[in-house]
Amino acid sequence: MRHDFYLAWRHLRHHRIRTLILVLCLSLIGALPLGLHRMLEAGEYWMTRRAEATPLLVGARGSSVDLTLGALYFSEAGVPTIRMQEADRVTATGWADGLPLYARHRVQGQPLVGVTLDYFDFRGLAPAQGELPAILGDCVLGAEAAEHLGLGPGDTLASSSENAFDLAGTYPLKLHVTGVLAKAHSPDDNAVFVDLHTAWVIEGLGHGHVDPQAAPTLTESPFGPVAARGADMGLLTYTEITPENLASFHFHGDPATYPISAVIALPHDTRAATLLRGRYLDEKSETEIVRPLDVTRSLLQNVFRVGALFDGILLLVGAIALFLVALVFSLSLRLRQREIETIYLLGCARLTVARLLFAEILLIGLFAAAVCAAVLAAAAPYASDLARHFILS
């Protein structure tokens, strides 16, 4: 048998190109489905990790998937807003703490998220540079957002206006970057965080007043000088909040009616969670409560169905590739007919030819398995990062 493998090895070396093509084809047939499953497992880990850390979500009744993706990953799904009083309602039950979150706006492609300081404690976010927002107009950047925007503590960042050319609308607000958060390997890395009140100022629910006699009728915006709204009425809307004009900023109406995207409910125990969920069983209510982990698992089931479809396609492609390999060996036998006849003339039995072919197939299979294992080992360190990148994106 040792001589069979020696002769098979010498033959494979002589036909290097054919051997290389066969090894690559077989290794890819094995590496693709295994790599796909590894990616799916990594994606499942990163998605369930954040969902498990978020016990309950309260939001507008409708798509629980959009609500979950919007609150956990700050997606642009356009989830309807709810009122700030929902956060107060959750806290007032005594069963859970409510963390309001407002993620409607974006700034230079990054999600602009309005939160309270409790959110940073809940997610375990701490500044790697600078400090957390302290006053209106301050913001703190996630690690990836800071790298993407090229900003750091002390820099300024203009929020996006709903309509920059509508003088009757809200002006972009110049935000002051107070810090950069340490990398958390989560969607928080891509966000720009502001206080909820700052988010409401950007929304146009808050503004500042000055004496028109002591201020010009033009104010500087990130887009150049623009006319101050209502200057003839003693009203000036600022595009930048400074210590000098901070005291003049105020809000109209009841803050309990101001918009938020969702409320992260943190129940004190399992019983409290059950009682809180019972408060939202009324289907006529405009709000609902969802368990992000259940929503995420349901979403992943659909992803795995797609993965099963890919498995079926790859299985079909693999079967076709194996037939082609068999065809190559069949044609190879025809080309080696004189060689086989010589083996017979030397006194070898027909079984010897079969053993030589088996040795060649086994060697090619071993080489393909080695290449497949090497590819998977080389890609393994990047699978988790790649899956996280797609999820965060």
pLDDT at res. 349: 67
138, 21: one domain = no
164, 198: one domain = yes
Q: Which helix (H) or strand (E) holds 267?
A: strand 262-267
pLDDT at res. 99: 94
Backbone phi and psi for residue 303, each to the nearest 5 degrees, phi listed first: -65, -40
Could you tell me if 90 and 289 are in contact, meaning their C-beta atoms sit under 8 angstroms apart? no
pLDDT at res. 180: 95
370, 229: one domain = no
pLDDT at res. 212: 47
CA distance 73 to 103: 10
Domain with 339 in it: 2-47+299-392
pLDDT at res. 129: 92
pLDDT at res. 45: 80
78, 191: one domain = yes
pLDDT at res. 108: 87
Q: How many domains does the chain have?
A: 2
pLDDT at res. 233: 39
15, 98: one domain = no
Greatest CA separation for the chain: 115
- Give the domain-ending residue among 264, 290, 316: 290
- Give the domain-ending residue among 256, 272, 290: 290
185, 309: one domain = no
pLDDT at res. 124: 92
- Give the domain-ending residue among 290, 325, 343: 290
What is the pLDDT tens value at each position of the chain, 393 positions in all? Answer: 566 777 778 878 877 888 888 888 888 888 887 887 787 777 778 778 888 899 999 999 888 888 998 899 888 667 788 999 999 999 999 999 999 999 988 888 899 999 999 999 999 999 999 999 988 889 999 999 999 999 999 898 888 755 444 444 456 788 999 999 999 888 899 999 999 999 988 888 876 665 444 444 444 433 333 433 433 434 444 477 877 777 777 788 788 899 999 999 999 999 999 999 988 887 677 889 999 998 888 888 877 777 677 777 777 877 887 787 778 777 777 777 777 777 777 767 667 777 877 888 888 889 988 998 888 888 777 777 776 666 655
284, 305: one domain = no
349, 216: one domain = no
27, 105: one domain = no
Torsion angle in degrees (nearest 10) through CA of 158, 162, 165, 169: -100
CA distance 119 to 329: 64
Nearest Cα neighbor of 277 from 285, 65, 84 is 285
